[in-house]
C-alpha cells in the first residue's frame, strides 16, 4: 500500500474549493456601468444614495440592470453602452454638482457574491479598454519654480528682518539679492541662511557699489528638486484621478522624467485629459491703489514693486509683487452657492494662515486680488514646424476689499459653477510641482478589449486541448490525472491573481498559457521516473513513491530558476513585461503546489489503497 498523508489531501481539496469560490465572479463577465462618488472623497454611508439615483433614472425611463453600494461608491450597471451614456446625461442634468461620475465597467456577478466580498479579477487596458496616457514632466520648469519660491521666501525673510534691499531676482540656476546702502551683508546672510541651510552664498559688490548676495543650486540640489517634482506630480495626478471617481487606476513613474497613467474602463477621454494635465494654482496679492493701471499699460512702464495683470474683461490691474499666499499652501477647497453667487471655500495650512492673518490685520480696508494661473503646453507652428511651447495664462478673477481679519479659512468668488468645481478639484488634488504635457495617448475601446480577451481565451483553450490530448494518449490514465491537475492549476492561478488584486493583461494571458505548458513538465518528470522504476523491477507502489521523491529535485531546480527570471522581469520591466512576470511567477508557485501535492493526492486516492496492482496505466 502507498498511502498519502490525509491532511495533505484535505489541504489540496480545501484550497481548490476556495479557489473555485474566489474565481467564480470571473465567469460572469462585465457590463457598462456608471461609478458615482462624493465630491469630497468621503464614502457614501448608506444605500439612500443608491435609491436616490435609481429613482432619478426611473423618472427619465432609463432601464437599470442593478445598482449597489461598494467601497463607498455607487455602481449602476446597464445592458449596453447607449443606456449607460443616456443615464450619465440624465444624472449630470439633474444634479450637475452632486456627484463625481466615471463611465466604466462592472462585474455581472450575482448579489450574493458581492455580499461575501467576492470580486472579479482586475483587467488591464488591453483587455477592458480605457485610456493610457504618458506625461513628460518639465523638470527644468521644476527648478525654475524652486528658484521662484526661493525669491519669494528671500523677500519675506528680509522684510521680516527689517533689512532693506534693492532687488531680489531669480537668475539662471540661482537667486541674487542686491542690498540698499546702509544694509549690512552679514545680517542679510544670517537671515537668508535661515530660509534654507543647504544653500551656499557668495557675496560681492555690484557696479553701483552695493552689497550683493548670490546662491546657485548645485547638481545634487537640482536632482533632488527634479525627483521631488516627479513624485509630487505622481501624487497630484493620483489625487486628480480619485477626484474623477475612477477606481483601479494606476499612476507610476516611467523612466527619468515621465509618468504613465492607466485608467481601465474609462471612456470619456476629454474630461480626463482636461483635468489631469492642467497646472492650475492661485496667488493672493494686494492691489496697488496709488498708481494708475491704464497709464502703466499705455506707457509700458510698470511702477517699481508692482506687476501688471488683466481681469476677465481685459481691463488692466496693478498688483503688488509680493505674494501673500499661493495655491501650494492650500489644504482644502470646495465650490458651492452662497448669497446667490458661486463661491470657492478655501483652507490654508499653518504657514499660509499665519501670513494671511498678518496681511489682513495690517491692510483692513484695502483691496486684495486673487490671480488664477494656468499653465499648459501647446503645439504651435514656428518656421513650418510644430514646436511645443509652454503657455501661461494669468487672470485676476476677483478683487475684494478686506473687511475684517481672517486667517486660514475664507471664500473667493468671481467664477462660474463649472469653473469653481474644476478649480476646487485641482486645488484639492494638489498643485503640480512642474508642468506636464502628453507625449503618448491611447484610447482603447471596449470592443477591442473584448476581442483581445476572446483571442487570449481561445489561445489558452486550443493550447490546453492539444496538451490534454497528448497527455491522455501518451500516459493513459495517469495522463488524464495530469490534465485534471492542469485545470486545477489554472483555476488556482486565476484565484490567486484575483486575491492579490493583480491586473490581468494580454501578456498576462500569455503567461498563463506558458504556465500551462511548463506545468505539464513536472508531471512528465514524475511519470518518466515512475516508468524508470518499473523497468528496474520495482513494485507499482514503490515506483510511485520513488517517482515523486526522486523527481522533486529536478522539478524544484527547473521552477526556481524560472522563478528567478520572473522576479527579475518584474523588478526591472515596465508595463506589459510586468504583467507577464506576475502571471509567470505566480504560475510557478501554483504549479509546484498542484503538481507535487495535487497529483500525488489523486494518484494515492485511486491506487494508493490497493494491495496488489498488476499494472500501472502510465
Give residue-wise pLDDT tens across range 268-309.
666 676 667 666 677 889 999 888 988 888 888 888 888 899
Mean pLDDT of all residues in 164-189: 82
> Contact 60/135 with Cβ under 8 angstroms?
no
> Is 570 buried (19+), middle (13-18) or exposed (0-12) by CB count in 10 A?
middle
Q: Assign domain 281-416 to a CATH class.
A: alpha beta
H or E segment to which residue 602 belongs: helix 599-603
DSSP 422-445: HHHHHHHH---SS-EEEEEEEEE-
Q: Which residue, among 431, 437, 439, 428, has the nearest Cα to 148 in the 3D structure?
A: 431
Based on its alpha-carbon atoms, the radius of gyration of the chain, rounded to whole angstroms, reads 33
Determine which of 226-230, 309-313, 445-449, 516-520 has the lowest per-residue pLDDT on average.
445-449
CA angle 607, 611, 617 (to 5 degrees): 35
Residue 318 — very low, low, confident or very high, per pLDDT cuts 50/70/90? Answer: very high
Q: Which three cell numbers stand for residue 399?
A: 478683487
H or E segment to which residue 213 belongs: strand 211-216
> Contact 104/246 with Cβ under 8 angstroms?
yes
Mean pLDDT of all residues in 250-268: 79
Q: Which three cell numbers stand for residue 315?
A: 481691463
Q: Which residue has the higher pLDDT, 71 or 473?
A: 473
Tally the C-alpha atoms within 13 A of residue 397's C-alpha that lie toward its C-beta. 23
Confirm whether pTM is higher than 0.85: no
Please give the mean pLDDT across all residues of the chain: 80
d(CA 526, CA 388): 62
Handedness of CA 159, 161, 166, 169 (dihedral sign): negative
Give the DSSP letter of residue 375.
E
Look at the block and give the residue holding cell 471612456. 267
Look at the block and give the residue holding cell 520513488. 546
The tens digit of pLDDT for each residue in 351-380 reads 788 888 888 888 888 888 888 877 665 556
Residue 436 has pLDDT above 70, yes or no: yes
The tens digit of pLDDT for each residue in 75-115 reads 888 888 788 888 888 887 776 455 677 777 778 888 888 88
Residue 417 has pLDDT above 80, yes or no: no
The tens digit of pLDDT for each residue in 442-491 reads 776 666 666 777 777 788 788 888 888 888 888 888 888 888 888 898 88
Q: Which residue has the higher pLDDT, 572 or 94?
A: 572
Residue 579 has pLDDT above 70, yes or no: yes
Q: Which three cell numbers stand for residue 557?
A: 531546480
Structure confidence at residue 319 (pLDDT): 92
Q: Name residues whose C-beta falls within 8 Å of residue 425's C-beta, 6 or more positions apart in sequence.
A: 240, 243, 275
Structure confidence at residue 426 (pLDDT): 60
Residue 1 has pLDDT above 70, yes or no: no
Q: Which residue, among 586, 397, 360, 492, has the nearest Cα to 17 in the 3D structure?
A: 492
Q: Name residues whose C-beta falls within 8 Å of residue 540's C-beta, 6 or more positions apart in sequence.
A: 534, 607, 613, 615, 616
How far is C-alpha 429 from the chain's CA centre? Answer: 12
Q: Which residue has the higher pLDDT, 215 or 332?
A: 215
Q: Across the beta sheet with 66-70, what order do the strands follow?
A: 66-70, 73-77, 30-37, 100-107
Residue 416 — very low, low, confident or very high, per pLDDT cuts 50/70/90? Answer: confident
d(CA 143, CA 560): 46
Structure confidence at residue 277 (pLDDT): 62
Is the domain covering 30-108 a CATH 3.20.20.30 domain?
no
Residue 611 has pLDDT above 70, yes or no: no
Report for 189-193, 292-296, 334-338: range of highest mean pLDDT: 292-296
> Is 157 buried (19+), middle (13-18) or exposed (0-12) by CB count in 10 A?
middle
H or E segment to which residue 49 belongs: helix 48-59
d(CA 267, CA 427): 24
**Domains of the chain, residue spans:** 6-25+445-608, 30-108, 140-220, 281-416
Residue 183 has pLDDT above 60, yes or no: yes
Q: Which residue has the higher pLDDT, 239 or 200?
A: 200
The tens digit of pLDDT for each residue in 104-159 reads 777 888 888 888 878 888 777 777 777 888 888 888 877 887 788 788 788 878 88
Is the domain covering 140-220 a CATH 3.30.1370 domain?
yes
User: Which fold would CATH assign to domain 6-25+445-608?
Assistant: Multidrug efflux transporter AcrB transmembrane fold (1.20.1640)
Domains 140-220 and 281-416 belong to one CATH topology: no
Residue 393 — very low, low, confident or very high, per pLDDT cuts 50/70/90? Answer: confident
Amino acid at each position: 500500500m502507498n498511502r498519502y498523508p490525509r491532511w495533505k489531501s484535505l489541504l489540496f481539496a480545501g484550497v481548490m474549493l476556495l479557489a473555485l469560490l474566489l474565481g467564480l465572479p470571473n465567469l460572469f463577465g462585465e457590463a457598462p456601468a456608471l461609478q458615482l462618488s462624493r465630491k469630497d472623497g468621503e464614502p457614501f454611508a448608506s444605500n439612500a444614495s443608491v435609491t436616490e439615483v435609481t429613482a432619478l433614472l426611473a423618472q427619465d425611463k432609463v432601464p437599470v440592470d442593478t445598482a449597489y453600494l461598494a467601497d463607498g461608491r455607487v455602481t449602476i450597471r446597464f445592458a449596453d453602452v447607449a443606456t449607460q451614456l443616456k443615464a450619465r446625461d440624465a444624472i449630470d442634468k439633474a444634479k450637475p454638482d452632486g456627484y463625481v461620475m466615471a463611465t466604466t465597467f462592472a462585474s455581472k456577478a450575482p448579489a450574493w457574491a458581492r455580499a461575501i466580498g467576492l470580486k472579479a479579477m482586475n483587467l488591464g487596458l488591453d483587455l477592458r479598454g480605457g485610456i493610457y496616457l504618458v506625461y513628460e514632466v518639465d523638470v527644468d520648469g521644476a527648478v525654475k519654480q524652486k528658484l521662484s519660491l526661493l525669491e519669494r521666501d528671500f523677500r519675506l525673510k528680509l522684510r521680516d528682518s527689517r533689512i532693506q534691499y534693492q532687488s531680489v531676482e531669480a537668475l539662471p540656476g540661482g537667486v541674487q539679492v542686491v542690498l540698499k546702502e546702509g544694509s549690512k551683508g552679514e545680517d542679510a546672510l544670517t537671515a537668508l541662511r535661515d530660509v534654507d541651510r543647504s544653500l551656499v552664498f557668495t557675496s560681492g559688490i555690484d557696479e553701483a557699489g552695493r552689497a550683493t548676495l548670490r546662491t546657485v543650486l548645485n547638481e545634487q540640489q537640482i536632482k533632488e528638486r527634479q525627483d521631488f517634482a516627479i513624485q509630487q506630480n505622481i501624487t497630484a495626478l493620483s489625487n486628480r484621478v480619485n477626484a474623477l471617481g475612477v477606481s483601479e487606476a494606476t499612476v507610476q513613474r516611467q523612466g527619468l522624467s515621465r509618468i504613465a497613467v492607466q485608467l481601465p474602463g474609462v471612456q470619456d477621454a476629454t474630461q480626463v485629459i482636461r483635468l489631469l494635465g492642467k497646472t492650475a494654482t492661485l496667488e493672493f496679492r494686494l492691489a496697488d491703489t496709488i498708481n494708475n493701471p491704464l497709464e502703466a499699460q499705455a506707457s509700458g512702464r510698470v511702477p517699481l514693486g508692482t506687476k501688471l495683470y488683466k481681469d476677465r474683461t481685459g481691463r488692466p490691474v496693478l498688483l503688488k509683487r509680493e505674494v501673500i499666499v499661493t495655491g501650494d499652501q492650500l489644504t482644502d477647497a470646495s465650490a458651492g452657492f452662497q448669497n446667490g453667487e458661486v463661491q470657492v471655500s478655501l483652507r490654508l495650512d499653518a504657514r499660509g494662515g499665519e501670513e494671511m492673518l498678518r496681511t489682513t490685520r495690517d491692510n483692513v480696508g484695502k483691496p486684495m486680488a486673487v490671480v488664477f494661473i494656468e499653465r499648459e503646453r501647446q503645439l504651435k507652428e514656428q518656421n513650418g514646424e510644430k514646436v511645443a511651447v509652454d503657455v501661461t495664462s494669468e487672470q485676476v478673477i476677483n478683487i475684494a476689499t478686506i473687511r475684517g481679519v481672517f486667517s486660514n479659512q475664507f471664500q473667493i468668488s468671481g467664477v462660474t459653477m463649472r469653473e469653481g468645481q474644476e478649480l476646487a478639484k485641482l486645488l484639492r488634488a494638489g498643485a503640480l510641482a512642474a508642468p506636464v504635457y502628453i507625449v503618448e495617448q491611447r484610447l482603447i475601446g471596449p470592443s477591442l478589449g473584448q476581442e483581445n480577451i476572446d483571442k487570449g481565451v481561445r489561445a489558452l483553450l486550443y493550447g490546453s486541448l492539444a496538451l490534454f490530448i497528448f497527455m491522455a494518449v501518451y500516459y493513459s490514465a495517469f495522463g488524464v490525472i495530469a490534465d485534471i491537475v492542469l485545470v486545477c492549476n489554472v483555476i488556482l492561478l486565476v484565484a490567486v491573481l484575483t486575491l492579490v488584486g493583480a491586473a490581468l493583461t494580454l501578456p498576462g494571458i500569455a503567461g498563463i498559457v506558458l504556465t500551462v505548458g511548463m506545468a505539464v513538465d513536472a508531471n512528465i518528470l514524475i511519470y518518466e521516473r515512475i516508468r524508470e522504476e518499473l523497468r528496474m523491477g520495482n513494485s507499482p507502489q514503490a515506483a510511485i513513491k520513488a517517482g515523486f521523491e526522486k523527481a522533486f529535485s529536478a522539478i524544484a531546480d527547473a521552477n526556481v530558476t524560472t522563478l528567478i527570471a520572473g522576479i527579475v522581469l518584474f523588478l526591472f520591466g515596465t508595463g506589459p513585461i510586468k504583467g507577464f512576470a506576475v502571471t509567470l511567477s505566480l504560475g510557478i508557485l501554483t504549479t509546484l503546489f498542484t503538481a507535487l501535492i495535487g497529483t500525488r493526492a489523486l494518484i494515492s486516492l485511486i491506487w494508493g489503497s490497493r494491495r496488489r496492482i498488476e499494472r500501472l496505466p502510465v
